[in-house]
Amino acid sequence: MLYQYIFRYIFLSIFIAILIIYNATSCQKNNEFLNLKQNIQYTGKASCMSCHKEIYNEFIKSGMGHSFYKPGDFPWIENFEHSTVWDSFSNLYYEAFLNHPNELYIKEFRLNGKDTLFSNSWRVDWIIGSGRQTRSYIIEKNGFLYEAPITWYSIKKIWDLSPGYHEGFNSGFRRALGEECIHCHNGYSPFSEGSTHHFQAIAQSIDCERCHGPGEIHIKNMEKDLIVDVGKGEIDYSIVNPKHLDIDKQFDVCQQCHLQGIVVTQPGKRFQDFRPGLKINTFFDVFTVEQNNKKEFGIASHAERLKKSACFKKSKMTCTTCHNPHQPTDLTLAVQACWKCHSEPHQKKCSLNDNLKNSSNCVPCHLNKTGTSDIPHVQFTDHYIRIISRDTAQKLSPKQVKDIMIFCQTQTKPSADLTARAYWNFFETRNNNPTFLDTIPKYTFLNPSLEAAKFYIYRNQLEQAQKVLQMFKPLNLQEKVWQAILLAEVYEKQKQLPQAIAYYEKAHALQPFQYQAQLKAILLQLKVSDGSIRHLEKALDNLLVLHKKNPLDYFVTLNIGKLYNDLRQDNASEKFLWDALKIYPNSMDALLELEKLYQRQRNLNKAQLIRHRILTTQKTKDKIQ
């Protein structure tokens, strides 16, 4: 028997080796890489270190190499002595402080004259950003990620509100970070398909696999000594080396994160499905907003801006023409790239005299370095190569705002349906001005899609939305979950609550981390019940299960506090209502519920304090509106 097992093992090993060699040979003939398929696993940057130590050690010094990490992993660059930030719109103060060399906290509080009306502290779990421009901070609970309201801006060495939190848009510690956001700031972090912001695991920093694809096959080949001599010009097809891709696919490797815009995924695809060596528009398309002001650009608009340049249009340059992705940015490399074309043989010498030319470089005159249109207090290089002095600054007038056009950067002739979906995503994620929706009928939703359903629900065209959703054929779990949620919303608006409950529960059954759907189901069940203690207790038990999944969700926490109050469980009610106020300090619902609790207890001192806070909060809300 032992010999039989040994024989089977040897036979199986030989068969696998032959299969690998056959696949590698087949891929070589077809010029295809083995790690493009979705079932090939990511292995993390640590798996690359043993064989590529020198490159690895250089890469981790770059901005990408330490873009996402734990507090204390790198030296502190922040000034904690002057860290107080006041948001005049929300009337909230923030202050960062170290409780321990490796423990960073952010305190949120409100002042009433010289007195502190309330104060809450949040421990930071992750830092995002290398610190060359910014450092922002993330709170994590059970795989759910939320952004903190303040950021350290390294160039000016100041603390200020985080990007997108200014001018009355401060969402506190409630801004959820989803798949697209983390994908471009971190290594592969498997996302719970169909959830809003839950991750099964979280990587630490952008890594090798973001540009080379998953390393499972390559690692196994190395372990079996199936080594390809790349030094002699051979291509190792077990993992993507971008230099062996055609120019468009090389560009797509960078464009997955350095093309900022409105993302529209292809049917059945997700943002994380893209792999280096494939075409981006097979998975998603990116639309950008046309700007009248040539000098304005977004912080991640490198690809879009470079494409405007005559240098790009008239050459075969890629991002690696000027950048070594394994190293920190080096202007010397960029200048050397310029002189490959702009040299004596081409009669395109720089107009500066030799002394100035040799002591300077091309960047100050042809690549503007300035602030960006979307992130304050930073200095980024505009990749639109041109003679900057010829630009004319031109702001959009209020009349032009409604006529903003968006353009597809990943397809030359996007379909009317794709464009309509892009306009909806622009409205939903960038600017909820209803005027923008007037543009959509010009393009029309030709195919049933989730975006089309959302558009019709927003317009209260419920029968049309229902028809679209019934015709829609989901191709993956994510689409199945959102189809169920949107159908539930339609039925809820039509006052058909049992059907709405059923579809919300279906969404939660498909994806247990889609707890918002289950929250809606619980609240609707309570609404159709007789309001008895039995039904209140059942709803409370179900909400406590959701709270255990994510204790940082404001709506779950608030409703638990309300139910405990209805059940006259005062201590528990008080605790959860204060927890809700920690998550959302300007919550009128939580404040009014607390006042009701203290009035019922005849605790007039506490009720009076809450009444005072209600009045100050209302003033704040009136100011924002």
Contact 546, 518 (CB under 8 A): yes
Structure token pair of residue 29 = 């003939």
Contact 487, 505 (CB under 8 A): no
Contact 176, 16 (CB under 8 A): no
* Cα–Cα distance, 242 to 234 (Å, whole number): 14
Structure token pair of residue 229 = 């001599």
For residue 363, what pLDDT is reported?
77
Three-state secondary structure along 26-79?
Answer: HHHHHCCCHHHCCCCCCCCCHHHHCCCHHHHHHHCCCCHHHCEECCCCCCCCCC
Task: Tell me what the mean pLDDT of segment 278-299 comes to.
Answer: 84
Lowest mean pLDDT among 338-342, 529-533, 600-604: 338-342
For residue 315, what pLDDT is reported?
87
Q: 601-610, pLDDT tens digit by residue? A: 999 999 999 9
Contact 402, 433 (CB under 8 A): yes
pLDDT band at 277 (very low <50, low <70, confident <90, very high): very high
Closest CA to 155 of 176, 192, 117, 129: 129
Q: What is the pTM of this model?
A: 0.89
| 285: three-class secondary structure by DSSP | strand
Distance of CA 68 to the CA centre of its chain: 13
Task: Tell me what the mean pLDDT of segment 200-221 comes to.
Answer: 95
State the amino acid at position 377 in one-letter form: H
* Cα–Cα distance, 170 to 96 (Å, whole number): 17
For residue 401, what pLDDT is reported?
45
Q: Is the pLDDT of residue 399 over 60?
A: no
Distance of CA 471 to the CA centre of its chain: 30
pLDDT band at 275 (very low <50, low <70, confident <90, very high): very high
Buried/exposed code over 56-93 (b: 16+ C-beta within 10 A; e: otherwise) = beebeebebbbbbbebeeeebebeeeebebebebbbbb
Which parts of 249-291 are beta strand (E)? 262-265, 284-289
Contact 196, 178 (CB under 8 A): yes
Sign of the CA dihedral with 534 first, then 540, 542, and 548 last: negative
Cα atoms found within 13 Å of the Cα of residue 280, Cβ hemisphere only: 23
Identify the bridge partners of residue 134 per DSSP, sorted by sequence position: 153
For residue 316, what pLDDT is reported?
82
Structure token pair of residue 621 = 């809300």
Structure token pair of residue 106 = 């952010």
Mean pLDDT of the chain: 89
Structure token pair of residue 303 = 């690809």
Q: 3-33, pLDDT tens digit by residue? A: 554 555 555 555 544 454 545 444 454 568 9
CA distances from 181 to 199, 418, 438 (A): 12, 22, 28
* Cα–Cα distance, 518 to 548 (Å, whole number): 13
Buried/exposed code over 440-464 (b: 16+ C-beta within 10 A; e: otherwise) = beebebeebbbbbbbbbbeeeeeeb
pLDDT band at 437 (very low <50, low <70, confident <90, very high): confident
Lowest mean pLDDT among 144-158, 535-549, 611-625: 611-625
Question: Tokens 């190395």 belong to which residue?
Answer: 222
* Cα–Cα distance, 590 to 577 (Å, whole number): 6
CA angle 28, 33, 37 (to 5 degrees): 140
CATH number belonging to the domain at 459-624, selected among 3.30.470.20, 1.10.3720.10, 1.25.40.10, 3.90.550.10: 1.25.40.10
* Cα–Cα distance, 15 to 34 (Å, whole number): 18
* Cα–Cα distance, 168 to 543 (Å, whole number): 31
- The percent of residues in the chain predicted with pLDDT above 90, rounded, is 71
Q: Is the pLDDT of residue 284 over 70?
A: yes
Structure token pair of residue 440 = 């959509």
Q: 418-432, pLDDT tens digit by residue? A: 999 999 999 998 888
* Cα–Cα distance, 350 to 363 (Å, whole number): 12
CA angle 207, 212, 215 (to 5 degrees): 80
* Cα–Cα distance, 203 to 143 (Å, whole number): 12
Task: Tell me what the mean pLDDT of segment 306-318 comes to.
Answer: 89
Q: Where are the domains of the chain?
A: 2-29, 68-204, 459-624
For residue 333, what pLDDT is reported?
72
Buried/exposed code over 200-223 (b: 16+ C-beta within 10 A; e: otherwise) = eebbbbbbbbbbbbbbbbbbebbe
* Cα–Cα distance, 442 to 421 (Å, whole number): 12
Identify the bridge partners of residue 235 per DSSP, sorted by sequence position: none
pLDDT band at 400 (very low <50, low <70, confident <90, very high): very low
Q: Kind and range of the H or E element at 609? A: helix 604-624
